[in-house]
Structure 1
Amino acid sequence: MPRALVIGGGIGGLTSGIALRRKGWDVTVLERAAKIDPVGSGLAIAANALKALDTVDLGDLIRRLSRLQGQAGLRRQDGRWLLHTTTQNAEARYGDSAVIMLRATLMDVLIGALGADRLRLGTTVSGVDAARGVVRTGDGDLEADLIVAADGIHSKTRQALFPEHPGPAYSGVTAWRGLIPRGDLNIQSSESWGKGLVFGISLLADDLVYVYATDVLPAGTALGNELEELVRRFGDWHEPIPALLRAADPAKIIRNDIHHLSTPLPAYHKGKVALVGDAAHAMPPNLGQGACQAIEDAITLAYFADGDLAAYTAARLQRTTKVVRRSMSMSRMTQIRNPVAVWLRDTALSLATRLNPNLMLRSMDDVLGWRPPRSPASHGAEHPRGRQTTG
């Protein structure tokens, strides 16, 4: 039985381990933390990632544990819709829609599917030998036929394999995230844009609301009370944003600067090592594709793992590079502060969606229309997609 070692117990690493086990690999996931403590609050699993999860029989469970995104779209800070779409439109176009869930719930599902005995916590990786397939840890060297580097945006493995690569770049914005009880508020998933400001709202299962916000600030800016900073920026925006902020617990608000890999890697493999997720192509969150692309990576890598890893790079590098660039282009649009430029941006978006009501979905066809690689024997067979039942 071939052996795989996965460095990193995040979404990309765990999904890689699950997919490889389904292909008959002996898998161990190495995680330096003593326990899995997911960073962040909520996340979207879009149609492309749901299709990927279907291949390892997790798609239906994810749908049951999450909530359909419902109507979603883009608004001005006064609440006027600039563009929007519905679950029905997305399902008709892609055979699926996006679901929103707690990151912690997704991690629990992935760990359960992998098997807790396959997850080695508290293991620090000090280096890899890509040619020999060796991972160096504090407990000694481990050998493998395949090493999966899923060690995040600041990946030490990436730095070792591609020392000339410049590494992460600051995207120009800092981001807040938090979970807030819904109460009796009427919640519609939406993202609202102002002058260099963004505020997003998504309803989760168990009547929790996931909120996120961004502002243009120099990297490393120190702020005081994060909730007060949100109220100062968004307290006079359209409802239910002020009401949500009034109901928020300051301890449940987190903030971090957003970095990405602006320079693509020359390859996503070297020797017996393959990179997945943020280690390969960290991106701003503006398209909601960070976790989705990591899941795509994992399923694709398992498909090609028995052969030449160059096929994995060929399948993933061009696609993910485009997604990173589009995410950053969207981020730059949100960073506009000049009032005239903001008016022109919003007017153009509003006019475009009037001329083409399906603009929001059509613009994402190449991203959301992705399908997992399949063997010739299964060509044309579709996984029987489960129906969302929560909410």
Structure 2
Amino acid sequence: MPADSSRPGPGRSAVVVGGGIGGLAAAVGLHRTGWRVTVLERAPEPREAGAGISLLTNAQRALDLLGLGDAVRANAAVMAPGGEGLRLASGRRLQPPADPAFLRERGLSLLVLTRPALHGLLRAALPDGALRTGAAVTRVVDQGGSAVAFHRTPEGEQAVSGDLVIAADGAFSAIRSALWPQVPPPVYSGHSVWRGIAEGVDSAAEPGGSTWGRGLEFGRMPLGGDRVYWFAVANTPEGRRFPDEHAEVLRRFGSWHQPVPALIAATPLGGVLRHDVFELAQPLPGYVSGRVAVLGDAAHAMTSDLGQGACQALEDAAVLCAVLAAQDDIPRALADYDEQRRPRSQSIVEASRRMGELKLTERPWQLLRRNARMRRTQPRASQQGLAMVGDWHPPALPEPAAVAAARPGEAR
């Protein structure tokens, strides 16, 4: 199969399938460590939809390795993980906020920004022409010393080849299904999430926090600029939709403690997004097949109950770029990526599932037991759990690659 005629000169090259957070991050990191990258995104235009997103310290450190940490910080608000702590719908406290001294000791914080802003920063860090939209990949072929991604265009099927293909094509990844047909597709978690951004509110006075109810959760995070990002979770039948999602959120959460009703009321009527949450219930036996590596939701789709979906995708991207920069043997580097990423990310998938089962319980006796358990939990235990997720460090880049990542203009 002839290589894509647009491939420039000698050097290592990669094809990234999917222009979401993980795929773009991997492309940026590879570009800044000397690779030529092509990103194939099936959507006709770059992704702009979305409300807010929070990035725990582990994701921030991944962004630093990729050369994007400072740019993201400049566009984000900062809050303490967990905010003011955990409350019940009445406002009664279940857990206090994390100890500020512990957070400082471990360097733990949350960056909060809008998803479109993060997407925009990732796209801006790519070289001109690297992102191709309207390119729906139909299949990937491992040719031993290279890999080829075939995609549809108005002119017919085209092929783009590289030294490897990175499959970042989302939770319902077609590439994952082709490589591991024995692994079932993602399953519905049992709950849906609404997301919105309240406008014209005093975000400086909002510490953030979470509230649990009966099969319900409401979280809030300051965005800055008189905006607060919020999310609302409920156990719902798969695929159920409401004529007015904004009104449905207000119906479910409008009687909760302030500022929950006020934030919902301050959200534009057309600004409430809704999606069902799916997870990969059966873990993949590997994240690599030949010269194809899966990344992000394609590798480990998880619930949003720990807020780690995008964070783990960024970890994937950072580790993949680091191991590929560390050695010329691509199959060996991909094996290192699988060895480093699969145990951690799959353990976080399971932890996120367990957290969702705990906080979204509905039976009265289970609610009583849940609330009693949360009140009995010592702050240090909760903080150690937070550190296990957030206090992660990516592998170091080799010195020449580290210099190139620090000077993105020279890598273009």
TM-score where L is the length of structure 2: 0.87
2:76 matches 1:76: no
Query: RMSD in angstroms over aligned alpha carbons?
Result: 2.0
Superimposed CA distance per residue, residues 65-98 of structure 1 (whole angstroms, 9 cap, x where no aligned partner): 1011133422111112222435844642322411
After superposition, the Cα gap between the structure-2 partners of 1:84 and 1:58, relative to the gap in structure 1 and judged at 3 Å, is: farther
SS in 1 for 2:376: helix
Separation in 2, partners of 1:32, 1:212: 27
Corresponding position of 1:345: 370
1:219 maps to which residue? 238
Aligned residue for 2:367, secondary structure, equals: helix
Q: 2: distance between equivalents of 1:216 and 1:193? A: 12
How far, CA to CA, are the matches of 1:195 and 1:32 in structure 2?
39
The 5 A counterparts of 1:19-30 are: 19-30=29-40
Unaligned runs of 5+ in 2: 1-10, 407-412
Tell me which stretches of 4 or more aligned residues in structure 1 moved more than 6 Å: none
Distance in 1 (CA, whole Å) between partners of 2:110 and 2:102 is 8
- The CA deviation at 1:364 is 2.1
CA separation in 1, counterparts of 2:234 and 2:76?
A: 28
Please state if 1:13 is matched with 2:23: yes
1:45 aligns with 2:55: yes
Alignment of 1:128-277 (within 5 A): 128-132=140-144, 133-138=147-152, 139-184=157-202, 186-277=205-296
Distance 2:398 2:149 in 1: 34
Residues 5 and 75 (structure 1 numbering): CA distance in 2 closer, same or farther, change over 3 Å? same
Q: Please identify, of 132-141 and 59-68, the stretch whose mean Cα deviation from structure 2 is larger.
A: 132-141
Instruction: Specify whether residues 72 and 57 from structure 1 end up closer, same or farther in structure 2 by C-alpha distance, changes over 3 A only.
Output: farther
Q: Return the match for 1:94 from 92, 106, 125.
A: 106
- The letter of the residue matching 2:380 is N
The alignment partner of 1:314 has SS state of: helix
Query: 1:8–1:30: 8 Å Cα contact kept in structure 2?
Result: yes
Taking the aligned partners of 2:106 and 2:58, their CA distance within structure 1 comes to: 8
Q: Is 1:312 equivalent to 2:337 in the alignment?
A: yes
Within the candidate set 353, 378, 381, 1:359 is matched to 381
Among 76, 80, 87, the alignment partner of 1:66 is 76
How many residue pairs get aligned? The number is 377
In 2, distance between residues paired with 1:375 and 1:39? 33
In structure 2, what is the Cα distance between the partners aligned to 1:376 and 1:125? 33
Aligned to 1:54: 64
In the superposition, the TM-score normalised over structure 1's length comes to 0.92
- Quick check: 1:73–1:84 contact (8 Å CA) kept in 2? yes
More moved, 240-249 vs 22-31: 240-249
Q: Is the 8 A contact 1:4 1:144 kept in 2?
A: yes
Contact between 1:85 and 1:361, CA under 8 Å: does it hold in 2?
A: no
1:212 is paired with a residue of what secondary structure? strand
Of 94, 113, 125, the match for 1:113? 125
Equivalent AA in structure 1 for residue 343 of structure 2: Q
Using the alignment, how far apart are the partners of 1:316 and 1:339 within structure 2? 39
Flag the 1:10–1:375 CA change in 2: closer, same or farther, 3 A.
Answer: closer
Distance in 1 (alpha carbons) for counterparts of 2:33 and 2:282: 32
1:47 and 1:369 in contact (8 A); partners too = yes
2:393 to 354, 359, 371: 371
User: Alpha carbons of 1:40 and 1:325: their partners in 2 closer, same or farther (altered >3 Å)?
Assistant: same
Q: CA separation in 2, counterparts of 1:113 and 1:303?
A: 18
- Contact 2:86–2:97 (Cα < 8 Å) also in 1: no
Q: Is the 8 A contact 1:84 1:360 kept in 2?
A: no
Q: 1:19 to 1:376 in 2, by over 3 A?
A: closer
- Which moved further from structure 2: 104-113 or 136-145? 136-145
Paired residues of 1:199 and 1:213 also in contact (CA < 8 A): yes
Question: For the residues of structure 1 that align with 2:295 and 2:308, how far apart are their CA atoms?
Answer: 14
Partner residue in 2 for 1:280? 299
Q: Tell whether the 8 Å contact from 1:180 to 1:244 is kept in structure 2 after alignment.
A: yes
| Aligned equivalents of 1:23, 1:275: Cα separation in 2 | 20
The Cα of 1:62 is off from its aligned counterpart by 1.3
Match status 1:336 vs 2:348: no
Q: Deviations over 1:194-218 (max 9, x none)?
A: 0001111111022211111111111
**Distance (whole Å) between structure 2 residues aligned to residue 88 and residue 376 of structure 1:** 34
Letter in 2 for 1:275: V
Distance 2:214 2:92 in 1: 15
1:389 aligned partner: none
